[in-house]
Structure 1
């Protein structure tokens, strides 16, 4: 006679319970991913004019001049540090005109796969709008793009520091 026939219902319950316990133990033994720490690339503190001009075209076509130690006159384009996130590098370029942030451009953001491109296609414009509205790096993260938001914020802050804001 077969082991799981109706004349021995206790055996069937015992096997079901043992299978359930085994499944729970296997699930609990899996280790969750630990997110890596966000590492910021070290660079010299004056990563501004010369690098932003050499790294491609600048928005608006002008990189303008700075008036030395004054932060409130002239137009200045500054590129922030490259921040390595879990999904890839994030880097921001800021244009400051007379002490006001007039343009924020993402120079680098994760683009390795279609999901990265999809997430960043809505996250980067939203982060840009918030930065322009706040006139600082104190902006909210975009839901679903936390790592990119954190990298954007850090790179934006380093660019603002280099611009003297």
Structure 2
């Protein structure tokens, strides 16, 4: 005669399992609220481009990278990352401006980080990374490459000048 073991969960363990499940649900709801209601954004590929021709195609905005004014206080910045260089190296905007960055790479993986901010995105060949930022405080904001891209990696930097 075989007996089947009985499986019982102690009430103390049930309480902890319920508490864990409740905390997990609260965490998921808070992440959803932060993502949608508060407008937090994670940089994601905006589009695809051909990395072999992105800098030379006359129809590509990266054939002449830089800042474009869409309306007063609203700009688009097209930044091309290539081995050991950001093009353009310097961007100047007035304080209070909203800038949408479109960053791509024509060769290897790079990073685009504006120092002393939480603005950081991965830049991959063939993909366009997009992020919108409002610069309220005048000053200089350095940007750097955060992915090792070879021996000249340390020279891969630039700056954003926010004028009063």
Normalized per residue, which structure has more helix? Answer: 1
**TM-score, normalized by the shorter chain, greater than 0.5:** no
* TM-score in terms of structure 2 length: 0.28
- Which one has a bigger Cα radius of gyration? 1
- Higher fraction of strand: 2
